[in-house]
Amino acid sequence: MARITLNKTFRSWLELWESLSADLNTMLTELYSPNTLSAPLVTTPVTTVVVTEYGDGKDMTTILTLTDFIVGALAGTAAALAMGNIVAAFPTGAHIEDTFFQSLSLKCAGTAVNSDTGLGSVTGSGVQSVLSGVGATSEDRLTGQTVPTAAAGGAVTVALVRAAVAGISLNVAASIKNVFLNSAGTWNANNTGNLTATGTIVIKWNKIA
């Protein structure tokens, strides 16, 4: 009888331990595993960009994966030209933009060009060889970087910028939410068709309201 009671007691403790272990494992997984949002707060209007987002709805990391994203159309003339296209948009309300990272390869037909490529709150445009010539807002999220083009895709170029909490980064409800990938350069007559980008853009930001 004592052995039967002991076995029942041991079995009960074992079941309790297994239950507690499962609960502990669940809590540790939730604590240390990244929380992927099924409906990202940052959106994109284009099919060549995939948005993956981690966070708790306030402290956010957004990853934009670009595949042959069209930055703009080349004129096929030997001249300076700036261009750009919307790559993503922040949600309505107030937020703070903390860090921007880009790892991109640019592709276009013709002779290679060292473009000036960055992220801004307005689209690049005009007869300009660098984004600073377009205006500060064409590169106010990530300052233009030298990114080479090639017919099969230029060398991947990486940049990491910590934003100052001012201007577009201190983003109130009335601020521009759109994020544009912009590029400028002195192009050649054989640079025809579209300038496209493939790679990754990462944004670290905080939703305030």
Answer yes or no: do 20 and 85 share one domain: no
d(CA 88, CA 83): 16
The residue that leads in pLDDT, 196 or 25, is 196
* pLDDT (tens digit per residue) in 94-126: 999 999 999 999 999 999 999 999 999 999 999
79: in domain: yes
Answer yes or no: do 62 and 130 share one domain: yes
User: What pLDDT is attached to residue 22?
Assistant: 64
pLDDT (average), residues 175-200: 98
Answer yes or no: do 131 and 198 share one domain: yes
CA 71 remoteness from chain centre: 15
Answer yes or no: do 155 and 67 share one domain: yes
Answer yes or no: do 8 and 84 share one domain: no
Q: Using the predicted structure, report yes or no on whether residue 78 has a pLDDT greater than 90.
A: yes
Answer yes or no: do 175 and 80 share one domain: yes
User: What pLDDT is attached to residue 21?
Assistant: 61
Answer yes or no: do 64 and 6 share one domain: no
44: in domain: no
Give percent of the chain with pLDDT exceeding 90: 80
The residue that leads in pLDDT, 56 or 7, is 56
| Strands in 29-188 per DSSP E | 49-55, 59-73, 80-89, 95-107, 114-120, 142-150, 157-162, 170-171, 178-186
User: What pLDDT is attached to residue 32?
Assistant: 47
pLDDT (average), residues 163-180: 93
39: in domain: no
Number of domains in the chain: 2
User: What pLDDT is attached to residue 16?
Assistant: 55
Question: What's the pTM value of the predicted model, to 2 decimals?
Answer: 0.84
42: in domain: no
Q: Which domain holds residue 22?
A: 1-33
38: in domain: no
Mean pLDDT (the chain) is 90
Answer yes or no: do 100 and 19 share one domain: no
* pLDDT (tens digit per residue) in 11-34: 665 565 566 566 655 544 444 456
The residue that leads in pLDDT, 25 or 199, is 199
pLDDT (average), residues 143-161: 97
Answer yes or no: do 13 and 62 share one domain: no
Answer yes or no: do 24 and 55 share one domain: no
Answer yes or no: do 102 and 162 share one domain: yes
Answer yes or no: do 121 and 192 share one domain: yes
21: in domain: yes
40: in domain: no
Q: Using the predicted structure, report yes or no on whether residue 44 has a pLDDT greater than 60.
A: yes
Q: Using the predicted structure, report yes or no on whether residue 38 has a pLDDT greater than 90.
A: no
43: in domain: no
Q: Is the dihedral of CA 100, 103, 105, 111 positive or negative?
A: positive
91 phi and psi angles, rounded to 5 deg: -75, 165
Q: What's the CATH code of the domain at 179?
A: 2.60.120
R_g of the chain, CA atoms, integer Å:
24
Asked if residues 135 and 122 have their Cβ atoms less than 8 Å apart, the reply is yes
Asked if residues 43 and 190 have their Cβ atoms less than 8 Å apart, the reply is no
Cα distance from N-terminal residue to C-terminal residue, the chain: 65
pLDDT (average), residues 155-164: 93
